[in-house]
Amino acid sequence: MTSADPAHETTYQANAAAYIQQLEELDNQFEQRLNRYHNRTFITFHDAFPF
């Protein structure tokens, strides 16, 4: 996006950094909540997780 709109490069970079931080915080929350299920098996039948 920055190559298409270089005038707003700093805004794109700041937004990307903020989004990455939100994703990392969410990942940490999931990790903390799932720690109590260490060595457990999860089974799902939803098409979103075909494994």
* pLDDT score for 44: 73
pLDDT at 6: 93
Give residue 1's pLDDT.
Answer: 86
The 10s digit of each residue's pLDDT in 3-48 is 999 999 999 999 999 999 999 999 999 999 989 988 888 877 778 7
Sign for the CA dihedral angle at 28, 33, 39, 40 comes to negative
The model carries a pTM of: 0.68
Give whole-number Cα distances, 34 to 9, 14, 15, 22, in Å.
37, 30, 29, 18
Q: Tokens representing 4? A: 């298409």
Residue type, 39: N
Cα-Cα-Cα-Cα dihedral of 9, 15, 18, 23, to 10°? -120
